[in-house]
Structures are given as C-alpha cells and as structure tokens.
Amino acid sequence: MDLNENIFRIKQVMGLLEEQTQNTLPYVVEGEHTVPQNDSNPCDAFHGFQLQRNPSATMNVQVKNALDLFKGQGVWVSDVQLTDWDVNKGKVKWKVTIDKSSDGKFWNGFTSRGAGCNDNIDTRWDSESAGNGPQAIKTKITTEVKNNDGTIKSPKTCENVENIELVKKIEVLTQTPTSKNSAGNFSFIQGFYRYRCGSSSPSNTTPSSTSTNSTNNVSQVEIKHGARKVLPDGNTEVYDGYNKKWMPDTDWLKLYREKPNEVSTEKKPEIIILKPGIKM
C-alpha cells in the first residue's frame, strides 16, 4: 500500500472525506474544444485535446482534476468517447469515464497523442520517431521543458512512470478514403492513454519538508517544484518552485498544465472507434 492509499484510509477513519465520498463511480468528465480563429495550423488544432495555444483545449487537466477527487483509491480512466464533432465549426466534444481499476491501484495520469492533417496518420499516430509512441510519451511525462526565457513550456508530471496503457484508439475520417493516409485534411487518429506515476513522483506523493530553527539561523530542505501535500481538510496544494509558494492544485495545473500536440469546409466526419486493449 503506497503513501496516498494510507492517507486515504486515515482520512476516511477521521471523517475527512465527506466531499470526496459524494463522488461515485463510474465518474464522467465531459468537455469540448474549438479551434481558435486564424489558428496557424487548424487541422492540427482540430485534434489538439490539450493545446497550449488553445485555451479551450484542456482535456488532460480536466481529467487529472477529476482523478484527484479519488486520490489514493483504486481508479483509472476506463473509457474515452468523442460524442460530437464538426469540421465546419472546428469543434470536438468528448466524454471520459473514470472507474475502478482492475489492479486496485490509483492510476493518476491521463494524456493523448495522435496524428492528423492528412500526413501519414496511420503510421504516425503511435510512432516513437514522431514522438507519439509509449516510450516517447514516458519521456514527455518525466521531462520538464522550458521556453527560451526560462518559463515552463511543459512541466514534468512524473519522476518515473510505473505503467502506461492505451485506453482507446479513435479514428476520425472526414471523407471516404482509399486509405487512412488520404482521408481528408482534418482526419486524425488519436490514442488516449492512462498511466501510473512511480511512488516518488510529484503526482503520487505527499511531500515533507524539515527545518532546523535556531535563534538567528534557519535551514530548510528545498522542496521540489510540483510537490504535493494534503491539507487537513482533504484538499491538496502544489509547490510552485519558481515563485516559491504553495498554491491550490487547480491553480497550479492552470499555470503549468501539460501541453502535448498541438476546420474549412468539409462534411461532418465519420468516426471509427477501435478497442485494442493494448498494454505497454
């Protein structure tokens, strides 16, 4: 049993989980994104479910916030659906289901990768060389990327990834293709993944800081950026290592959210959903 599971049981005994236990499983998260006007690459933004340049594309953050409602419990993302899409309006609606995990562990991560723009989508959607394969995703999750000015472009969400699985592969083809690689400019293939951070990762731990105080001397162990702590009321705070302060979990995610991959007038696409159950 890891630290978060122990904390969950302790808080459960102490009666500190009133708000959390009101959330029942399966738990559904729904959202949508719309391609911004004058976007530099609209066909790419059409399948940009978490996209830095598009304020409406925050799927990973919304799902992560929902997963954190069940922190320490054995849950994971069990299903992903696209409920509606419109190329003319540049809009995609989605629904994610969180349910009990088959291994009883807390799978605290969710992300997606894919390929679009009529550019070899059948081979690029899960290609390691294109940055979309499971190993490339692990590297992305465990690496902090900064802009030239030193600000964070993409935060590290795990120190290490214990496991990663493909939840669902979804294909959206905007016209009847001779092949998936010639299915229309706004066609895409997207893989949606759940993952579990290692026990020492920011998303899976409660940090502790130790300090030694004397009359005129204070020394304190440095707290890592992205460290989390559980407050007595059951809420969580995350440490902003760049501004040297703790902040609510939701505020930290808005400031340092994950930014993966980044319609025009074509008829509404046909969707093909495959459920391979692939495990990496």
CA 64 – CA 160 distance, rounded (Å): 17
Q: Of 136, 132, 142, 125, whose CA–CA distance to 196 is shortest?
A: 142
| Cβ(76)–Cβ(12) below 8 Å | no
Task: Examine residue 107 and state whether it is found in any structural domain, yes or no.
Answer: yes
Domain match, 150 and 84 both: yes
What is the C-alpha separation between 268 and 85, in angstroms, rounded? 7
The least confident of 20-34, 73-87, 109-123, 175-189 is 175-189
How much is the mean pLDDT over the chain? 77
Q: Residue 228: how many CA atoms within 13 Å on its side-chain side?
A: 25
Based on the fold, state whether residues 130 and 10 are members of the same structural domain: yes
Residues 50 and 95 in one domain: yes
Q: How big is the chain by its Cα radius of gyration, in Å?
A: 20
Query: Smallest Cα–Cα separation from 243: which of 178, 181, 152, 168?
Result: 152
User: Does residue 224 share a domain with residue 153?
Assistant: no
Residue 120: HSE in the Cβ half-sphere, 13 Å Cα cutoff? 5
pTM of the shown model: 0.64
Of 41-45, 63-67, 109-113, 207-211, the least confident: 207-211
Residues 212 and 160 in one domain: no
Q: How many structural domains is the chain composed of?
A: 2
CB–CB of 103/279 below 8 Å?
A: no
Are residues 80 and 146 located together in one domain of the fold? yes
Checking if the pLDDT of 209 tops 50, the result is no
Q: Are residues 8 and 43 in the same domain?
A: yes
CB 260 within 8 A of CB 57: no
Cα(104)–Cα(74) distance, integer angstroms: 4
Q: Domain of 86? A: 3-202+256-274
Query: Tell me, what's the pLDDT at 222?
Result: 53
Per-residue pLDDT reduced to its tens digit, 87-106? 999 999 999 999 999 999 99
Q: How far is CA 150 from CA 11, 147, 153, 239, in A?
A: 39, 5, 9, 18
Show the tokens assigned to 31.
Answer: 């959202």
146 domain residue, yes or no: yes
Q: Is the preceding peptide bond at 232 cis, omega within 30 degrees of 0? A: no
Strand, helix or coil at 5? helix
- Residue 132 to residue 114: CA distance in whole angstroms: 7
Do 144 and 24 share a domain, yes or no?
yes
Q: State the Cα–Cα distance between residues 280 and 17, nearest whole angstrom.
A: 34
pLDDT digit string (tens) for 117-138? 888 898 999 999 999 999 999 9
- Residue 270 is assigned to a structural domain of this protein: yes
**How far apart are alpha carbons 86 and 28 in whole angstroms?**
22
Residue at 279 is within a domain: no
Query: Is residue 251 in some structural domain?
Result: no
Taking alpha carbons only, the member of 43, 230, 214 closest to residue 121 is 43
Residue 245: how many CB atoms within 10 A of its CB? 9
